[in-house]
Amino acid sequence: MEKKGSEKNRHVVPWLTKAEMDQVRDYLYSMDSSLQGVALDRISAWRTRCTDSFPVAMDCTADLVRCQMRDLSGQLTGEDLIMMYGTALVRFVNLITERQLKPLCVTFNRPSNTSES
């Protein structure tokens, strides 16, 4: 049975509506730390709904905002903040690099060696 054109492009997302996702985005970029906390809580809930296919970009953004909130709150020492920011930035760079390299990836077929015993 062939899929209809509209069914081919469908994919499952953890948010209920686009408005909910837009609200979380606005809260993440808000200067109010309580709104950022609400957004991070919502993203954590979304992550549990959609563990295998959660958008990595959203996850990385949440990590960076979480680092910023902890930094401003003074909860962590300098070394802990360095580790937290470092991990978040490495994940972000890996995401960008992966997306840039995917079109360049080529699979090489290794010749089978039948003379080995």
For residue 107, pLDDT over 60 is answered with no
pLDDT band for position 4 (50/70/90)? low
In whole angstroms, what is the distance from residue 81 CA to residue 68 CA?
9
pTM of the model: 0.69
Q: What is the mean pLDDT of the chain?
A: 81
DSSP state of 103: G
For residue range 83-96, what is the model confidence (pLDDT) as tens digits? Answer: 999 999 998 888 87
For residue range 21-44, what is the model confidence (pLDDT) as tens digits? Answer: 999 999 999 999 999 999 999 999
Contact predicate 79/104, CB 8 Å: no
> Which stretches of the chain are DSSP H helices?
5-8, 18-28, 33-49, 56-73, 78-101
